[in-house]
Structure 1
Amino acid sequence: MLVTALVLAAAPGAAADSAPADPGLPSSPVTVTADSLPTVQIDGVVWQQAVIGDTVYAVGKFSAARPAGAPAGTQTTPRKNILAFSLSTGKLITTFTASLNAQGLAVAASPDRKRLYVGGDFTQVNGHAVRKVVALDAATGAVIPGWAPPMSGSVRAIVATPDTVYLGGAFTTVGSASRSRLAAVRASDGALLAWQPAAHGGRVNALVLAPDRSKIVVGGAFTTLNGSSDPGFGLGAVDAVSGRNLATPANKLVRNAGTYAAVTSLSSDGTSWYGTAFLLVSGGGTGNLEGSFAANWQDLAITWIDDCRGDSHSIFASSTAVYKAGHSHDCGKIDGFPESDPRSWHRALAYSKAAAGTLTRPSSRLPSFLGQPMPTLLVWFPDLDTGTATGQNQGPWTVAGNDQYVVMGGEFLNVNLRGQQGLARFAVSSLAPNREGPRSSAASTQPVLASPSTGTISINWQANWDRDSSRLTYKLYRDGKIISTRTVSSRFWYRPSMQFLDSVAAGTTHDYKLVANDAFGNAMTSPTVSLKAK
């Protein structure tokens, strides 16, 4: 007889991972695996990425690239603040040779995928004088001549249509024309257009364009947008032609702005749009969210809130799941991992695209989102550590991808406890090695035996856990033969205890071992233990 008892935390919601039992359920979609694939490395920080076909463009602050597996300072290729690599192989694309003389902060593709728009702090690209923004040939990295908007400050956000390139950042003028952190230029020649919504009180961090190109959602640290703080307190939508404010119900819920709070990123999958937020409570930040959110394009209203604690930096949605880069340390509000002591951070997370429940737990530190819909926290827990490039004790800053791959960029030094600096790739199970298996040591999950009565041996053990599998199968062996098989759901913070009561002949001695394996055959085998029955 097998008995399962719950320990450590309440049972999580739906089991969703790289091989869910029912991938058709909105609450349990398929994710990429947690296997870290070989990927080119950098020696600094990646701030943003863009994907065009099989090419990933990464911009940031770095000076050299090196192959996967190469220690820092070895086998380097000069790459100044921008590079391109293959999404499918992870290898540096040597024919793309653009070079920025200062950090790149934003990168976006033109709709025809032939151009790459790059923004940042730079004043030279490939030796050509520019002013914080440039258009490049997507194949070679060559500067597109005659396209040179003269921005007065850094460009941190870019979205493009065939005719117009929209820019956001910290600038206040374009040439001699006043533009308060938002501007639009002509795609053909970079000439300034009349569009001029004004963001005041802080910079613009992010822009996302509606699928019909009629409106743009703006995110950042600004406290007003066109003079309004609702919408406009860190978040608001504007008309893509006139620049006037549009009703943005999402800003009634998500309100992060000022010196120590902001909306940090925005993205869209064509159906919904998504955002992430930052809040420094100890600094007196004026905000209410450290996690992420999803909203619809129809009326710009929230569809779910991820109320995890710990700042969030970037968000990407594939056709099945939503991926986030940040440093969450408490996802208890959404039935995820609780705060630990000492604190631990989980810098790469995944969520369901659909709402799967309601927030019911109040917060002691921040305003609560009680009654709002929440997503499912999926079982995808690759381990990305912190780096030193920025001095901010962060790991990943950006996430992007497509329906087969997810790419993380930042300043991390290791992925899954192995050297992999600044860039990381993950793939769906059909393209991945699927080698991430049960994580807890064999010794820590070995069976504990007792003989409570004549002819009975009780075998007790605690569930294991896996970075990308929510369900593990446990095979219990007695004297080399399987006597019990059971599949149980677990997480790193939720590991049920199990017991099997074995009937044997009185006074006989028996050997027991336990094998835990995931859906891909990765297994952890316990030591063999023995006991003589009463």
Structure 2
Amino acid sequence: MELTRTRTGARTGTGARARWRGRAGAASSVVATVLALLLGQVVAAPGASAATVVSDVPVPMSQTNGPVWAVEMAAGRIYAGGAFTSTRPSGAAAGTSESGQGRLVAFDAATGALVPSFAPRLTNEWDGSPGTVHAMVLSPDKKVLYVGGDFNSVDGQTAEHLAMFDTATGRFLGQVGWNGVNGTVRSLAISPDGRTLYVGGAFSVASWTSRDRLAAFDLTTREVTPWRPVISAPVAGEALRTTALAVSADGARVFVGGPFQQVNGRAAQGVGAVDARTGATVANFRTDYLLAPYNWATALHVVGDTLYLAGRDDRSGSASRKEGVQAIATATGAVRWYSRCYGDTFDVLPLGSEIYVASHAHDCSAAGGFGETNPRRYVAMHVLDRSTGRVKSGFQVMTSGVSTQPDTLLLSRTLATDGRQIVMGGGFTSVQGRPQANLVRLPGR
């Protein structure tokens, strides 16, 4: 089943799925409600459809032996990057049938099987340690994959924390700019015309030019652009860094997220908007989307005229925090809706009329979804109605880990789609009660 784009850029299902909804939607809603009442579960708000675009029943997908921090899909491949050192086939137990390929790998998007021919070796030449991938983004035409993280060499060639790959062949295309950046890259975004790459992280130099945690590269000339916004005043207990970037559809604005409280010397709790060319603060973007002093943006995603902002708050147990997801007009800064879910949110993926959310949410009752339980139950992935922000019923992805292995308790961290399915990466040992480590593939209905 392939999803098709509408004129507005959203995707819808095939006509067959629409007809199925018309015949069976009412009956399935009644059955789901009765079962939920019998089991003592929280029922979603009236009108929330149980028929989601994507199923929460996994299909075969290779696994990794460590956390996955970034995924992208292009040219019939699933690209995954993180802190893992090996992969193994779907269904294989840890330590068996290990490939030895790690840090940055590719899988066949139709089968979930490893692509052995794509085996770049990312290292940190300063200490000889393997590199770690933290961020990836595709060019608008999906022909180039940009990768950022903690590495400075690819297959023995210089790549200072940034690298480019051909998505069709996997060929290494070189580093970004003349000399990349001098510290860890945590976030990437690209302009709609594909000419400018925006980079965020914890660095101070970009191609021999002073740039503090934010930089932009002209992908045609390889030069660092004049764009240089400044983030400051870190959230207590967090290192100052940029964790999320997004560009408006018209290319005029860049949205910046991370554990900071100021942008260009002005109040901006965890998120700000700046001019895409000059880096100057955008006047009509508000400063109170998140609450001082601990709230900050973990993920930003633009589709059309809307910015989807995912947040976390480092105050434990406080009711005065804004986690969950907000939908914000990119031009005016107006909040269209706020889906209040308690539990940090790490990625958002708009798909058709829905928003898929990667998190460790444990209470979405304020958004019409599941409520708090005792013992607490963390949901790795749920779905929102794109027009209202209300939680949709009939879809939940649950993961688990091992208390003695912290990297298996990271839940979901990153999402990607090719329009036919969703891939979720993170840190876990099982999905929906079955063994599956750190990667899962969810098919379209």
Letter in 2 for 1:218: V
Structure 1: which 5+ residue stretches go unaligned? 20-29, 356-373, 430-534
Q: What is the letter of the counterpart of residue 262 of structure 1?
A: W
What's the offset of the Cα at 1:417?
1.0
Judged with a 3 Å threshold, the aligned counterparts in structure 2 of structure 1 residues 292 and 146 are, in CA distance, closer, same or farther, namely closer
The corresponding residue for 2:315 is 281
Q: CA deviation at 1:389?
A: 5.8
1:244 aligns with 2:280: yes
Name the structure, 1 or 2, with higher relative contact order (CA <8 Å, separation 6+): 2
Q: Write the distance in 2 (CA, Å) between the matches of 1:9 and 1:249.
A: 39
Unaligned runs of 5+ residues in structure 2 are 1-33, 124-130, 234-239
Name the structure 2 match of 1:100: 122
Residue identity opposite 1:41 in structure 2: Q
Distance 1:296 1:427 in 2: 30
Q: Is the 8 A contact 1:119 1:158 kept in 2?
A: yes
* TM-score, normalised by the number of residues in structure 1: 0.69
Which of 196, 204, 226 in structure 2 is aligned with 1:194? 226
Which segment drifts farther, 202-211 or 87-96? 87-96
Q: Distance in 2 between the 1:389 and 1:185 partners?
A: 38
Name the SS of the counterpart of 2:288 in structure 1.
helix
The answer to whether the 8 A contact 1:269-1:319 is kept is no
Cα deviations across residues 431-464 of structure 1 (Å, max 9, x unaligned)? Answer: xxxxxxxxxxxxxxxxxxxxxxxxxxxxxxxxxx
**Contact between 1:156 and 1:168, CA under 8 Å: does it hold in 2?**
yes
* Cα distance, 1:251–1:141 mapped onto 2, change above 3 Å: farther
Q: Aligned match of 2:374 in 329, 333, 341?
A: 341
Bigger Rg, which one = 1
> Aligned partners of 1:256, 1:89: CA distance in 2, in Å?
45
User: How has the CA–CA distance of structure 1 residues 389 and 209 changed in structure 2, closer, same or farther, with 3 Å as cutoff?
Assistant: farther
C-alpha distance in 1, partners of 2:378/2:312? Answer: 15
The corresponding residue for 2:289 is 253
CA distances 1:457-501 after superposition (whole Å, capped 9, x unpaired):
xxxxxxxxxxxxxxxxxxxxxxxxxxxxxxxxxxxxxxxxxxxxx
Q: 1:378 to 1:244 in 2, by over 3 A?
A: farther
Find 2:302's aligned residue among 264, 268, 271: 268
Q: Give the match for residue 245 of structure 2.
A: 207
Deviation at 1:397, TM superposition (A): 1.0
User: Aligned match of 1:394 in 404, 407, 410?
Assistant: 410
| Gap change, CA 1:290 and 1:66, over 3 Å in 2 | same
Confirm or deny that 1:127 pairs with 2:156: yes
Greater shift after overlay, 260-269 or 59-68? 260-269
Alignment CA distance shift 1:39-1:251 (3 Å): farther
The yes-or-no answer on 1:381 pairing with 2:396 is yes
Change beyond 3 A, Cα 1:380–1:68? same
Percent of matched pairs sharing the same residue = 30
Judge conservation of contact 2:147–2:163 (CA < 8 Å) in 1.
yes
1:313: how far off? 0.9
Name the CA distance, whole Å, in 2 between partners of 1:241 and 1:375.
Answer: 35
Equivalent-residue separation in structure 2 for 1:347 and 1:5 (angstroms): 23
Write the distance in 2 (CA, Å) between the matches of 1:7 and 1:73.
38
Hey, what's the Cα distance between the residues in 2 that align with 1:189 and 1:95?
Answer: 30
SS at match of 2:260: coil
Residue 95 (structure 1) shift: 2.8
Residue matched to 1:490: none
- In structure 2, the CA distance between the partners of 1:189 and 1:251, relative to structure 1 (3 Å rule), is same
Q: TM-score, normalised by structure 2?
A: 0.82
| Distance (Å, rounded) in 1 between the aligned partners of 2:405 and 2:219 | 34
The amino acid across from 1:151 in the alignment is V
Matching of residues 14-29 of structure 1 within 5 Å: 14=46, 16-17=48-49, 19=51
**Aligned residue identity for 1:160:** I
Q: Give the letter aligned to residue 277 of structure 1.
A: G
Corresponding residue number in structure 1 for 2:438: 422
Where 2:300 maps in the other structure, the secondary structure is: strand
Structure with the larger helix share: 2
314-323 or 381-390: bigger deviation:
381-390
- The CA RMSD measured in Å over matched residues stands at 2.6
Match of 2:67 in 1: 45
Q: How far is 1:300 from its partner?
A: 2.6
Cα 1:354–1:168 change in 2 (3 A) is: same
Task: Tell me how far apart the structure 2 counterparts of residues 80 and 5 of structure 1 sit (CA, whole Å).
Answer: 45
Counterpart in 2 of 1:526? none
